[in-house]
Copies of this chain bind each other. A is one copy, B any other.
Amino acid sequence: MISEAITQWKAVLGGGGVADDEITLERYARTTLDEAPRPVAVLRPRSTEDVHAIVRIASENNVVVYPISRGKNFGYGDACATTSGAAIIDLSGMDKILEVDTELGYAVIEPGVSQRQLHEYLESHNTGLWFDCTGAGFDASLVGNTVDRGFGHTRYGDHFLTACGMEVVLPDGRILNTGFGHYANARATRVFRYGVGPFLDGLFCQSNLGIVTKLGLWLMPAPEAFRFFFVRLDRPEDFMPFIDRIRPLRMRGILQSAVHIGNDLRILSSSTGYPWERTAGDTPLPEDVREQLRREAGIGAWSAAGSLTGTYAQVRGAARALRRAMKGLGKVVFVDDAKLALSGFAARCLGAVGLGKRLNAQLEALRPNYSLLKGIPTDEPLLGALWRLRTPPVYKTYDILAAKCGLMWISPVLPTTGRDAKTLMRVVEPIFTQYGFDLLATFTLITERAMIGILNVAFDKREPEETERARRCYDALMEAVMTAGYYPYRVGLAGLPKLSQPGDVFWQVATQIKAALDPQDILARGRYIPPLSEAQDREPNESG
């Protein structure tokens, strides 16, 4: 079956478009998770027509295909398929920026377009436009992140909300254009998401119903005024009142951007590894060492950051409201381009203007975050994955797959209240401790009312025992957060089977749609929507 498919794929894509050699398959099987399936082939289409031909051949030969945009789905499944025996469709060669409209502020891109590429395009063409970056690094795909409903930290942080008009290759090869895109000469395809009739775009996120081959993406005009802010919270318990004070600012539209909050360990992990020597090899990190590290780095138990944009007067107004809200809790430090430029100066100059050495170091540490909020991607957040390596690479690397980093993300969604933050922390902290891992955590206020927690189970893949334990820790955490009512916004391969229960009408409906559009279940089998074979006995009403 697969050999016949490979022959046919080669006929369409040419030899260079199809690989099934050991080295390639091994490379695509690399994962930050404990384990992931190995593919049987890797296909590299160059166009929507190629993708059309690929799925047609897959269907004829009953071979499962699994599309990846650029394969940077770190901590969730990387470039790996959900099931073994699949051929990977690597869309990274479809990397055209098809259109950038500077007047209406949007781009139309293919799935292979990376964050770096779009950033460079927007810069070099002096468009005056920014996009919302995600923390997955320079090479991550914008389309891939969007269809996984990933997020960033600006006003456009909810990426799916800024996606406008999809071209989708369906499992049977038909090409669907969503929104107004299926109408001749439609003028509003890239400015109005819904079109007319049912809004179908949601079907193609976190699912396996089609392959998105083109996407409209809204871009922000660089604002008149931009101020980065950060708030240092000294004590672990300050996190809860912080949440309750910041929520009203989000709900009133005073703060338009997402706010990003990281704990001490998550901040430390970006610049340093686990202190194996100080702890004499013990895990998890003892409390006294943790406090020491915090003191040495001059960071609080939690650090929050975000940006204010608008006119100068608006930004001043928002800054005032933010300062007022934080009174007695944490000092708000504002940074703009002028101040950041200053931080490059010698420490004595800084002393003279009252910033001090420590703040200077903090500013330097925040530079990647600062850039991110201005639409400049960065690889720095990836460094957190190196945290638990016994022998980290001597030369700094961002290639976390090559470095054998272990990384699994638990990403529960919480109402933005101090109570919920506290409950969640109480649920997860003892589990991390029990399994000997350190709780590296961030929370992002993604909507005006909800925040997403990203809890890293970071481990060393060179250590089989730790790897196996990490997986048990992940399973225990998923079980615990779901039982507590904090379901994940997104899951990795190991999380997929935990999402659906027999009799759950939601997954029944998703499965019925899958059966209607992909009766052979050849596209990304098991990705969010359970395999049709498993679902058979769950369906009271099979589609007609």
Contacts and interface: CB of A to CB of B under 8 A. Distances in A.
A90 interface: no
A207 interface: yes
Interface string A282-320: 000000000000000000000000000111111111101
B254 A448 contact: no
Given A105-B251, A202-B200, A506-B200, A317 B321 contact: no
A59 B251 CA distance: 44
A420 interface: yes
Given A188-B413, A198-B207, A517 B509 contact: yes
In terms of DSSP, what is the predominant structure of the interface of chain A?
Answer: loop
Interface string A137-169: 000000000000100000100001100000000
Interface stretch (A71-79, A387-395, A488-496): A488-496
A254 B311 contact: yes
Contacts of A315: 317
Contact of A515 (B516, B519, B528): B516
A192 B513 contact: no
Contacts of A106: 449
A251 B197 contact: no
Contacts of A414: 187-188
A32 interface: no
Interface stretch (A34-42, A177-185, A377-385, A460-468): A177-185
Contact of A543 (B161, B311, B517): B517
A253 interface: yes
A450 B101 CA distance: 14
B516 A544 contact: yes
Contacts of A218: 448-449
A444 to B, nearest CB: 12
Interface stretch (A4-12, A365-373, A479-487): A479-487
B187 A415 contact: yes
A133 interface: no
B202 A207 contact: no
Contacts of A161: 161
Given A104-B416, A149-B194, A174 B508 contact: yes
Contacts of A417: 103-104
B188 A505 contact: no
A215 to B, nearest CB: 15
A497 to B, nearest CB: 13
B104 A188 contact: no
A529 interface: yes
Contact of A194 (B177, B195, B489, B505): B489
Nearest to A412: B188
B198 A206 contact: yes
A447 interface: yes
Interface residues of A, number: 107
Interface in A443-475: 446-450
Contacts of A448: 105, 218
Given A311-B317, A317-B313, A191 B450 contact: yes
Contacts of A340: none
Contacts of A529: 197-198
A125 interface: no
Interface in A186-232: 186-188, 190-207, 209, 218, 220-221, 223-224
B187 A105 contact: no
A255 B510 CA distance: 38
A197 B377 CA distance: 27
27 contacts: A174-B508, A177-B505, A182-B507, A183-B482, A183-B487, A187-B486, A188-B415, A191-B415, A192-B489, A194-B202, A194-B489, A195-B506, A196-B488, A197-B206, A197-B529, A198-B204, A198-B206, A198-B207, A199-B202, A200-B203, A218-B448, A253-B310, A311-B321, A313-B321, A509-B517, A512-B516, A517-B543
| 5 closest Cβ pairs, A-B complex | A313-B317, A199-B202, A516-B543, A519-B544, A191-B449
Given A182-B506, A543-B544, 7 more contacts: A155-B253, A185-B484, A186-B487, A192-B489, A198-B207, A198-B209, A515-B516
